[in-house]
């Protein structure tokens, strides 16, 4: 072997210092990974506690004394306002659409058609697809949905008007606590 190859081989063989650095970094990585997992669990627990206090305990305590907000000595104001969240399981969309139509809330359900288009498609085929979708031989699926924000707004409006929201919808009535 020549001298140039010997230098290259020497550079490829790790020294004890380089291996020590790798071992230290690997150990640090494992420690940080564990720490992140522990902090994520603690964060989830703290979020649940915050939700419990903000949606259950504090609103109940304020209601018991007949107030909706409270100003603390440090100047922060804690407010609890009633909220309504409405959602819908996908398998109830047809029943919900029928109920909405019958009860004067038509137009909330949007319908889409999803078409699988090959990566390579010329402009003429794409134009023809738009005009003659059923004749192009491409598979498609039909989908229906209500946009979550539209449904949430509708739920709030129904609640404010003291209208009945049928059981096909999931309704959460609770409180939103804010600190200002």
Report pLDDT for 34: 96
Q: Are 173 and 82 in contact (CB under 8 A)?
A: yes
Per the domain annotation, does 134 fall within a domain? yes
Residue corresponding to tokens 């494992």: 30
Q: Bridge-partner residues for 115, per DSSP?
A: 140
Strands (DSSP E) contained in the chain are 69-71, 77-88, 109-115, 140-146, 169-179
Which residue, of 67, 90, 109, is where some domain finishes? 67
Whether 168 and 85 map to the same domain: the answer is yes
Report pLDDT for 179: 87
Report pLDDT for 13: 66
Count CA within 13 A, CB hemisphere, residue 92: 11
Query: How many domains does the chain contain in total?
Result: 2
Q: How far apart are CA 45 and CA 175, in angstroms?
A: 20
Per the domain annotation, does 73 fall within a domain? no
Whether 54 and 88 map to the same domain: the answer is no
Number of other CB atoms surrounding residue 78 within 10 Å? 16
Residues of the chain with pLDDT under 70: 1-13, 119, 136-142
Whether 45 and 120 map to the same domain: the answer is no
pTM for the complete prediction? 0.57
Domain hosting 14: range is 3-67
Per the domain annotation, does 74 fall within a domain? no
Give the containing element (helix H, strand E) for 64: helix 58-65
Per the domain annotation, does 58 fall within a domain? yes
Report pLDDT for 111: 80
Report pLDDT for 124: 82
Which residue, of 12, 32, 67, is where some domain finishes? 67
Which residue, of 18, 33, 67, is where some domain finishes? 67
């Amino acid at each position: 072997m020549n001298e140039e190859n010997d230098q290259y081989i020497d550079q490829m063989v790790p020294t004890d210092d380089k291996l020590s650095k790798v071992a230290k970094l690997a150990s640090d990585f494992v420690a940080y990974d564990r720490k992140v997992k522990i902090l994520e669990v603690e964060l989830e627990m703290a979020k649940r506690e915050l939700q419990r206090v903000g949606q259950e305990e504090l609103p109940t305590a304020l209601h018991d004394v007949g107030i909706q907000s409270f100003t603390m000595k440090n100047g922060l104001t804690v407010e609890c306002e009633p909220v309504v969240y409405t959602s819908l399981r996908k398998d109830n969309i047809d029943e919900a659409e029928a109920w909405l139509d019958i009860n004067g809330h038509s137009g909330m359900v949007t319908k889409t058609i999803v078409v699988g288009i090959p990566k390579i498609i010329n402009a003429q085929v794409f134009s023809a697809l738009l005009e003659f979708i059923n004749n192009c031989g491409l598979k498609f699926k039909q989908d229906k949905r209500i946009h979550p924000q539209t449904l949430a707004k509708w739920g709030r409006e129904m609640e404010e008007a003291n209208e009945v929201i049928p059981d096909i919808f999931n309704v959460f009535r609770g409180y939103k606590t804010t600190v200002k």
